[in-house]
């Protein structure tokens, strides 16, 4: 199983650049398994609490078509579900 390593330089940059608490959500996996779709579902559920209304917030291609790459950020605060 692969390990996710956190860069201490990146963590320090986050600590110094943001005044308010932030959440970092990471989706990893092979191409075409639904990471972008899951990111959209997660953000939608946190925003509306209605998982039946699923806009495509993060573009997804499906199958072997790579659409999203790199780091994608959501700029609006999402409510804490707890």
Each domain of the chain, given as residue ranges in start order, spans 25-55
77: left (phi over 0), alpha (psi -120 to 50) or beta: beta
Q: What is the pTM of this model?
A: 0.54
With CA atoms as reference, report the closest residue to 81 among 47, 52, 58. 47
With CA atoms as reference, report the closest residue to 42 among 29, 61, 23. 23
Tens of pLDDT along the chain (82 residues) come to 677 788 899 888 888 988 877 777 788 888 777 787 787 777 777 777 665 655 556 666 655 666 666 666 666 776 666 6
Q: What is the pLDDT of residue 9?
A: 92
């Amino acid at each position: 199983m692969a390990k996710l390593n956190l860069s201490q330089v990146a963590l320090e940059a986050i600590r110094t650049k943001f005044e308010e608490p932030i959440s970092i959500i990471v989706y990893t996996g092979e191409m075409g398994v639904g990471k972008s779709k899951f990111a959209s579902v997660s953000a939608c559920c946190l925003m509306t609490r209605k998982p039946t209304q699923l806009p495509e917030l993060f573009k997804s291609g499906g199958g072997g078509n790579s659409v999203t790459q790199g780091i994608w950020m959501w700029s609006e605060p999402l409510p804490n579900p707890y």
